[in-house]
Amino acid sequence: VQRDWLARPFAPDAQQWAVPTYLYGSTANGQLRVHHGVDIPNPQGTEVLAVAPGTVIFAADDAATLVGPSLDFFGLAVILELDQRYHDQPLYVLYGHLSAFRVRVGDHVDAGQPMGEVGMTGIAMGPHLHLELRFGENSYQSTRNPELWLQMLPGHGTIAGRLVNAEGRTLPGASVLVYRADSPELWRVVPVYSDEAGIQPDDEWGENFVLADVPAGAYRVTARVDGRVVSQPLTVEAGRTTFVTLLSGLDGG
Residues making contact with Zn ion (CB under 5 A): 39, 130
Instruction: Supply the minimum distance, in Å, between the C-beta of residue 32 and Zn ion.
Output: 9
Measured from the CB atom, the residue of 130 and 134 that comes closer to Zn ion is: 130
Q: How far is CA 241 from CA 150, 216, 220, in A?
A: 11, 11, 15
CB of 97 to Zn ion, least distance (A): 8
User: How does DSSP classify residue 20?
Assistant: G
In the complex, minimum distance from the CB of residue 51 to Zn ion, in angstroms, rounded to a whole number = 16
226 phi/psi in degrees, rounded to 5:
50, 40
d(CA 67, CA 169): 31
Looking at the Cβ atoms of 39 and 62, the one nearer to Zn ion is 39
Q: How long a stretch of residues is the chain?
A: 253
Name the residue nearer to Zn ion (CB basis): 39 or 207: 39
Which residues are registered as beta bridge partners of 163?
Answer: 246
Cα–Cα nearest to 74, from 14, 110, 109, 121:
121
Residues 78/50, Cβ–Cβ less than 8 Å: no
Instruction: In whole angstroms, give the CA distance from residue 157 to residue 146.
Output: 14
Q: Of 23 and 163, which CB lies nearer to Zn ion in the complex structure? A: 23
62 CB burial (10 A radius; 0-12, 13-18, 19+):
buried
Nearest-CB residue for Zn ion: 130
Closest separation in Å from C-beta 70 to Zn ion: 14
- In the complex with Zn ion, the residue whose CB is nearer, 37 or 54, is 37
- Bridge partners (DSSP) of residue 209 are 161
Q: How far is the CB of 253 from Zn ion (least distance, A)?
A: 38
CB of 21 to Zn ion, least distance (A): 12
